[in-house]
Amino acid sequence: MKNNIRIEGRDVGAGEPCFIIGEIGSNHCHDKNIVKELIDAAATAKLDAVKFQIYDPKEAFSANEQTSDVGLEHLYGRRPWWEVARDHILMPRDWFGEMFEYAREKGLIPFSTIHRKEDLEFLMPFDPPVIKIASIDLHFHHLINDLLTFEMPFLVSTGMAYLSEIDETVRLFEMAERRDLVLMHCVSCYPPKPEEMNIRNITALQNAFDVPIGYSDHSDKNFSAFAAVTLGAVVIEKHITLDRMAFGPDHPFALEPDGMVDLSTGIREIEASLGRRARRVNGDENKARLMIRRSLVTRVPLKKGEAISLEKIKFARPGTGITTNEFKYVSGRTVNRDIPSETVLQFEMLNN
């Protein structure tokens, strides 16, 4: 059994309900009320957690990187990208304590993607329960080694990474004697085309690594997330928004409130329907057997002492009598009473 992790009192991994994350990310629109409305919507949809972004834009980007370099000049004009990140993408730091507290009041688990040790240190007063490593930092070993000094579990996205790079990162955890890791299959396209999603990579990662596997899904629908759950994904992460038409880069592929409800409802129904590997017939199916399966039914009236033959019976519903495959035990035997036509035969109606 691959090691499960524990996030703020919740067991996450094999045999546990899928852990569903709504990423607020940049979709706060620099409006506190919108952040709280997103948290409310996530709680109403019965998601498990909400996630925020935090980083220092001057440290994360070259000052020379422009909006045109990231394909967003059409939204923000030509400007240094770090300025756009500061002014539009990042949630103000002085909101984090309030939003972590508000999320917990609503029954959600709040946490953040971490890009620097200093950012995690900033969040520590708010008791973050898990560290998320984004795909861009999967191979940033310096960062991961810094963060491994903190005693909390990790979710690590694998977008853009070769299997060898994922293996190198997993080895960092092994060398640190840490087992509290979930790898997240991810495709770093926004949104990816269906043929780019490679959901079967979840199975490949399960076979390659002795850790639980989740899925960070950037698609604009829920189909791939549902497929991931059927393949055993233990965590699902999706961007969320109040309005896909809102201004910003991540709104168009994020889930609106109805989509959040569809996601969580669908996942829970899939989990219930997956059931167990052991073959079993449940109580309702046993009732159906009696109604739907066939029995031996008299085609014509039979007189006491008359022998049963194939032309005198038919194989018909309900399944409450002698079964079709038991005809070989009945053929040629005589009946011990007069039996009308259309009677479901029982063994007690036959002479020995």
Same domain, 194 and 322: no
Q: Which of 248, 274, 300 is the last residue of a domain?
A: 274
d(CA 78, CA 63): 13
* Residues with Cβ within 8 Å of residue 22, at least 6 apart in sequence: 38, 42, 45, 47, 49, 50, 51, 238, 239, 240, 255, 260
Same domain, 229 and 308: no
Same domain, 321 and 266: no
Same domain, 307 and 213: no
Same domain, 328 and 247: no
CATH number at residue 112: 3.20.20.70
Average pLDDT over residues 195-218: 97
Domain count, the chain: 2
d(CA 35, CA 95): 10
pLDDT (tens digit, 9 = 90+) per residue, 91-133? 999 999 999 999 999 999 999 999 999 999 999 999 999 999 9
| Percentage of the chain lying above the pLDDT 90 cut | 95
Q: What is the pLDDT of residue 279?
A: 85
Same domain, 236 and 318: no
Angle at 211 between CA 206 and CA 215, to 5 degrees: 65
- Tell me: pLDDT of 146 over 90: yes
Same domain, 254 and 187: yes
d(CA 141, CA 261): 37
Same domain, 323 and 234: no
- pTM beyond 0.75, yes or no: yes
pLDDT interval class at 278 (50, 70, 90): confident
Q: What is the pLDDT of residue 277?
A: 82
| Owning domain of residue 242 | 16-55+90-274
d(CA 112, CA 251): 18
Distance, CA of 182 to chain centre: 13
pLDDT interval class at 283 (50, 70, 90): confident
- Tell me: pLDDT of 282 over 90: no
d(CA 197, CA 187): 6
Same domain, 194 and 339: no
Q: What is the pLDDT of residue 1?
A: 53
* Closest to 341 in 3D by CA, of 323, 311, 289, 320: 311
CB–CB of 293/319 below 8 Å? yes
Phi-psi region of 307 (alpha: psi -120 to 50; beta: other; left: phi over 0): beta
Q: What is the mean pLDDT of the chain?
A: 96
Average pLDDT over residues 21-43: 97
Sign for the CA dihedral angle at 331, 337, 338, 342 comes to negative
Average pLDDT over residues 47-59: 97
Torsion of CA 9, 11, 16, 20, to 10 degrees: 70
- Tell me: pLDDT of 39 over 90: yes
The answer to whether residue 6 is domain-embedded is no
Phi-psi region of 87 (alpha: psi -120 to 50; beta: other; left: phi over 0): alpha
Same domain, 225 and 309: no
* Closest to 263 in 3D by CA, of 304, 295, 235: 235
